[in-house]
């Protein structure tokens, strides 16, 4: 199982989104998502989220909020445990990202983007859940088959 982070940086009711387009053998090619990536040796979830945000955006996160753990199970990809963050405070100036295109997207327009189905579920939970949550998403290929919120089957 691989450990990753994903952070949704917020400003003016928008999220900074990345459309993945520049990496070879990327299972998320063409899809939109937040900022993040794989842990490096010795990193905590906070360390990874802060480093990945800086590397991909040039922004320094201030007080990122650890919101959830999301487990992705798939018959096509390695199981992934993703540590989900949001952050409203940051410094710096956006840079060009070597993984794709960065764009501030209004939260009300997010659902119209090409995204993984499960991402839409946890984005909605980020807006409605105040407590830390655990989400498990089960995929066959790119199709979400069911999911569990805090250990309980939802779909």
Q: Please give the pLDDT value at position 104.
A: 97
pLDDT at 24: 58
Quick one: pLDDT at residue 23? 52
- pLDDT, tens digit (0-9, with 9 covering 90-100), for 12-29: 999 999 997 755 555 556
**127 three-class SS:** helix
Average pLDDT over residues 34-60: 97
Encode burial over 26-38: b for 16+ CB neighbours within 10 A, e otherwise.
eebeebbbbbbbe
Four-way CATH pick for 2-153: 3.30.565.10, 3.90.79.10, 3.30.365.10, 3.40.50.10140: 3.90.79.10
The closest alpha carbon to 36, from 86, 1, 74, belongs to: 86
Residue 125, pLDDT > 70, answer yes
Give residue limits of the domains in the chain: 2-153
Average pLDDT over residues 44-58: 97
User: pLDDT by residue (tens digit) across 75-96?
Assistant: 988 999 999 999 999 999 999 9
Reported pTM: 0.92
> Any idea how long the chain is?
155
């Amino acid at each position: 199982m691989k450990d990753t982070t994903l952070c949704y940086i917020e400003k003016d009711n928008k999220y900074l989104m990345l459309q993945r387009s520049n990496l070879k053998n990327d299972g998320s090619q063409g899809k939109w998502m937040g900022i993040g990536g794989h842990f490096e040796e010795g990193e905590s979830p906070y360390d990874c989220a802060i480093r990945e945000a800086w590397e991909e955006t040039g922004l320094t996160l201030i007080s990122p909020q650890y919101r959830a753990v999301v487990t992705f199970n798939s018959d096509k990809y390695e199981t992934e445990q993703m540590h989900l963050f949001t952050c409203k405070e940051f410094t710096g100036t956006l840079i060009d990202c070597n993984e794709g295109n960065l764009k501030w997207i209004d939260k009300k327009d997010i659902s119209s983007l090409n995204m993984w189905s499960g991402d839409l579920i946890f984005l909605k939970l980020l807006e409605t859940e105040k407590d830390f949550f655990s989400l498990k998403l089960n995929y066959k290929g790119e199709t979400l088959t069911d999911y569990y919120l805090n250990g309980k089957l939802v779909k």
